[in-house]
């Protein structure tokens, strides 16, 4: 349920509405927009008359939200969510690129990666220290040692870090080294992890599960937001279909669909989306054209020797060339990069 306050409503009017919501058994989430404060009441009580709120001083309107996700719903924050990370605005006019290797492998590799991606205009470096590998015999990541390496490399090049958290026990450690915590596709419905991420104040990049619908992705975001962490970036990274020509089927349409349903920034990961290097650039271009706020991409200085996802990692020159193209596309759709 949503209560939209009038423009210029006073603090005490807002407090009065919050009090009434609490008495009725709702948990209240407040969104302070440019012109209006919106109060989201989440709770079991749906059999009330919106008029009860509309008559209160300072209230503009009150609606029931019929969609299953409330806080992620576009109506909760019609002007969109902007998340600022190290001075970079995510969900604003600029398309933000986060790039780097799939895994942090060693000091030199991550240092070279940081230099390449920063030079080409990326704002964040990606790299996993805890890797969700399909086989337990594959490289599992360097853990804290890797996080130290990516932090040092990022700081040297003025980048922020995005790295994956696989388990609740890793949240503290990840938060020490990484500005953005990534929840991987395989963990999109790890509800205990999501709930715990709701209690911290770090932006979360939430990837769509390999067989998840858009609504399920939004409900997973809701788990995080329920705890008070509203800084969630949703990420389309390809879904599993009957098609075998690509590793996954990159659902470009999810980008505008999500923009229509939610105020949260939308990221696209064409690397996992297609799984083949030669297809990453066309899908990255399509994602920017479709309105992605963030691009997450894999780049490796020596992909043939990468310890994970080499086949989908761009060569440095490919990445630099793609960034020039993406800049032009961003401008054509009224954005910058």
Told to check if 247 binds ligand PEP by CB under 6 A, we report no
> By C-beta, is 91 or 209 nearer to ligand PEP?
209
Told to check if 259 binds ligand PEP by CB under 6 A, we report no
Q: Which of 40, 41, 58, 128 binds ligand PEP (CB under 6 A)?
A: 128
Secondary structure of the chain in HEC code, one letter for each residue: CEEEECCCCCHHHHHHHHHHHHHCCCEEEEEECCCCEEEEEECCCCCCCCHHHHCCCCEEEEECCCCCCCCCEHHHCCCCCCEEECCEEECCCECEEEEECCECCCHHHHHHHHHHHHHHCCCEEECECCCCCCCCCCCCCCCHHHHHHHHHHHHHCCCEEEEECCCHHHHHHHHHHCCEEEECHHHCCCHHHHHHHCCCCCCEEEECCCCCCHHHHHHHHHHHHHCCCCCEEEEECCECCCCCCCCCECCCCHHHHHHHHECCCEEECHHHHHCCHHHHHHHHHHHHHCCCCEEEEEECCCHHHCCCCHHHCECHHHHHHHHHHHHHHHHHCCCEC
Q: Which of residues 13-42 bind Mn ion (CB under 5 A)?
A: none
> By C-beta, is 43 or 132 nearer to ligand PEP?
132
What residue number has its CB nearest to ligand PEP? 184
Segment interacting with ligand PEP (CB under 6 A) among 8-16, 21-29, 179-187, 280-288: 179-187
Told to check if 277 binds ligand PEP by CB under 6 A, we report no
Measured CA to CA, the distance from residue 225 to residue 248 in angstroms comes to 28
Long-range contacts of 240-243 (CB under 8 A, 24+ apart): 240/210, 240/211
> By C-beta, is 58 or 128 nearer to ligand PEP?
128
Q: Identify what 196 binds: ligand PEP, Mn ion, none; CB under 5 to 8 Å per kind.
A: none
Number of residues near ligand PEP (by CB under 6 A): 9
Shortest distance, position 102 Cβ to Mn ion, whole Å = 3
Shortest distance, position 260 Cβ to Mn ion, whole Å = 28
Measured CA to CA, the distance from residue 279 to residue 26 in angstroms comes to 47
Torsion, Cα 106 108 113 116, to 10 degrees, reads: 180
Q: Identify what 60 binds: Mn ion, ligand PEP, none; CB under 5 to 8 Å per kind.
A: none
Q: Which of residues 90-119 bind Mn ion (CB under 5 A)?
A: 102
Shortest distance, position 156 Cβ to Mn ion, whole Å = 23
Told to check if 127 binds ligand PEP by CB under 6 A, we report no
Q: Identify what 185 binds: Mn ion, ligand PEP, none; CB under 5 to 8 Å per kind.
A: ligand PEP
Q: Which of 309, 313, 322, 335 binds Mn ion (CB under 5 A)?
A: 309
Told to check if 237 binds ligand PEP by CB under 6 A, we report yes
What residue number has its CB nearest to Mn ion? 102
Number of residues near Mn ion (by CB under 5 A): 2
Q: Which of 185, 234, 264, 297 binds ligand PEP (CB under 6 A)?
A: 185
> By C-beta, is 59 or 116 nearer to ligand PEP?
116
Binding site for ligand PEP (CB under 6 A): 102, 128, 132, 184-186, 207, 237, 272
Binding site for Mn ion (CB under 5 A): 102, 309
């Amino acid at each position: 349920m949503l209560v939209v306050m009038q423009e210029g409503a006073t603090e005490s009017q807002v407090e009065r509405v919050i009090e009434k919501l609490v008495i009725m058994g709702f948990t209240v989430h407040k969104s302070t927009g440019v012109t209006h404060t919106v109060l989201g009441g989440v709770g079991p009580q749906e059999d009330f008359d919106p008029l009860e709120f509309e008559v209160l001083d300072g209230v503009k309107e009150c609606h029931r939200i019929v969609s299953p996700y409330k806080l992620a719903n576009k109506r909760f924050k019609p002007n969109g969510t902007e998340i600022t990370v190290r001075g970079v605005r995510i969900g604003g006019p600029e398309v933000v690129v986060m790039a780097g290797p799939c895994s942090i492998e060693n000091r030199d590799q991550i240092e070279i990666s940081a230099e390449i991606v920063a030079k080409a205009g990326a704002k964040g470096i990606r790299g996993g220290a805890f890797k969700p590998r399909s086989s337990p015999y594959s490289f599992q990541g360097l853990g804290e040692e890797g996080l130290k390496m990516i932090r040092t490399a990022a700081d040297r090049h003025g980048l922020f870090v995005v790295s994956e958290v696989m388990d609740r026990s890793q949240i503290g450690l990840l938060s020490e080294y990484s500005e953005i915590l990534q929840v991987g596709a395989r963990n999109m419905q790890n509800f205990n992890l999501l709930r715990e991420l709701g209690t911290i104040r770090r932006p979360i990049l939430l990837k769509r599960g390999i067989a998840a619908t858009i609504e399920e992705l939004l409900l997973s975001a809701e788990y995080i937001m329920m705890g008070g962490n509203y800084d969630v970036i949703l990420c389309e990274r390809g879904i599993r279909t009957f098609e075998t020509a690509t590793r996954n089927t990159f659902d470009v349409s999810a980008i505008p669909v999500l923009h229509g349903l939610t105020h949260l920034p939308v990221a696209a990961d064409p690397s996992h989306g297609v799984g083949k290097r030669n297809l990453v650039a066309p899908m990255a271009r399509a994602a920017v054209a479709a309105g992605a706020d963030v691009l997450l991409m894999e780049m490796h200085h020596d992909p043939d020797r990468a310890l994970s996802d080499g086949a989908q990692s761009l060569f440095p020159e490919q990445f630099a060339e793609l960034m020039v193209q993406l800049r032009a596309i961003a401008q054509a759709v009224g954005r910058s990069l």
